[in-house]
Amino acid sequence: MLSVSIVIPAWNEAERIADCLTNATRQTQAPHEVIVVNNNSTDDTVKVVNQFIADNPQANVHLLSQNEEQGLIPTRNFGLNNATGDVVGRIDADTMLKPDWVEVVSGIFTEDEEAMGATGPMVYYDMPAHSFSLKGDNRIRRRVFKSDGRTLLFGSNMALRRSAWKLIAGEVCRDKADVMHEDIDISLHMAGRDLKTVYSPRMIAGMSARRMDTSLPSFLRYMKRFKNTFDAHPQHSRKVKPEYIFTALYPMLHAWFPVYQKYLQMRDINPAERIWIKEQMQLIEDDKLDDYSTYEDEEEGANGEEAK
């Protein structure tokens, strides 16, 4: 099986980075390495990551710094350039990987030698109805996130062959104005090289719905990034525009998000911590995942949660 590195760009992510690292390292197949790239954080991100490394020396987590230039793209590039696995996963600092994510990603690229990039569906872990959310996201991403008939990668849940990244590393847009979707930009540069991207419904990760808690003008500016990215790549086209779908969903999710956060606070539930607890516990029972001393406390915290 191919080795998988995981790269996590981080700017002021102290609240979620420990949960992200826990899920990234608590896997049925251990990642080759997990690289956190700090970008001038002013909160406790560095302290939290260093503490995680000290508490989990077996996890092969590394903290790098990219402080010369502020921004996601240079920070992402720095991490991808320093990864050494056969495949490089790229996620966000609030992404919670399903326990078999590394194994699934390794299998995708092992079984399909032509696959150069891969992505999959997301579930909102800080919103209710997880199963419904995952099914809906899977339906949207596999049918709508396409350009020229090719799968578009999604930054919170994507992976590239390291050899593919080396081909496009010098070509990807720097987007210093910060008006584009950097993951779609990568996808279109890969398409320009005729590099195959694939979608797998088994490549599952959790993400926060916090984007839906922004104001409508801010949300619409974020949605405009789709158009801006394709305007920068006029040689590529798309039949369906996912920003229309997300904009239609915005009023409902925007209304629900703060209400559900109050429920989580009232119940003292950390949604990022509990998202994959049932799966992790089952894997421990099946001897497919190493035990952790924290599981008993987490399981107690998960008791009584609403059905997913």
If you average pLDDT over residues 9-36, what whole number do you get?
97
Q: Which of 33, 19, 98 is nearest to 64 (CA)?
A: 33
Examine the pLDDT at 299 and tell me if it is beyond 70: no
The average confidence (pLDDT) of the chain is 93
Residue 288 binned pLDDT confidence (cut-offs 50, 70, 90): confident
Is residue 294 over pLDDT 60? no
Kindly state the average pLDDT of the residues 93-105.
97
pLDDT of 301 higher than 60? no
pLDDT grade for 14, boundaries at 50, 70 and 90: very high
Check whether 295 has a pLDDT greater than 90: no
% of the chain with per-residue pLDDT over 90: 89
Question: What integer is the mean pLDDT of 71-89?
Answer: 98
Mean pLDDT, residues 277-289 taken together: 88
- 39 close to 10: Cβ distance less than 8 angstroms: yes
The C-alpha angle with vertex 61 and arms to 58 and 66, in degrees rounded to 5, equals 160
Angle between helices 295-302 and 277-285 (to 10 degrees): 130
pLDDT band at residue 286 under the 50/70/90 scheme? confident
HEC states along the chain?
CCCEEEEEEECCCCCCHHHHHHHHHCCCCCCCEEEEEECCCCCCHHHHHHHHHHHCHHHCEEEEECCCCCCHHHHHHHHHHHCCCCEEEECCCCCEECCCHHHHHHHHHHHCCCEEEEECCEEECCCCCHHHHHHHHHHHHHHHCEECCEECCECCEEEEEHHHHHHHCCCCCCCCCCCCCHHHHHHHHHHHCCCEEEECCCCCEEECCHHHHCCHHHHHHHHHHHHHHHHCCCCCCCCCCHHHHHHHHHHHHHHHHHHHHHHHHHCCCCHHHHCCHHHHHHHHHCCCCCCCCCHHHHHHHHCCCCCC
Instruction: Inform me whether the pLDDT recorded for 197 exceeds 50.
Output: yes
- The total of other beta-carbon atoms located within 10 Å of residue 256's CB is 17
Q: Is the pLDDT of residue 202 over 60?
A: yes
Rounded to the nearest 10°, the torsion over CA 77, 81, 82, 87 is: 100
Neighbours of 268 (CB within 10 A): 7
Is the pLDDT reported for residue 303 higher than 60?
A: no
Cβ count within 10 A of residue 106: 22
Which domains can be identified in the chain, with CATH numbers? 4-302 (3.90.550.10)
pLDDT at residue 285 tops 70: yes
**Residue 306: band (very low, low, confident or very high) from pLDDT cuts 50, 70, 90:** very low
Please, what sign has the CA dihedral across residues 165, 170, 173, 175? positive
Q: What is the pLDDT of residue 91?
A: 98
Whole-number pLDDT of residue 287: 85
Kindly indicate the confidence band of residue 291, based on its pLDDT and cuts at 50, 70 and 90: low
Tens digits of per-residue pLDDT, 49-66? 999 999 999 999 999 999
Q: Which residue has the higher pLDDT, 288 or 162?
A: 162
Q: Which residues contact 169 (CB under 8 A, 6 or more apart)?
A: 77, 80, 81
pLDDT digits (tens, 9 = 90+) for 100-149: 999 999 999 999 999 999 999 999 999 999 999 999 999 999 989 999 99
C-alpha torsion angle, residues 100, 102, 103, 108 (rounded to 10): 120
- Residue 259 makes CB contacts below 8 A (sequence gap 6+) with none
pLDDT at 298: 44
Residues in CB range of 215: below 8 A, 6 or more apart = none
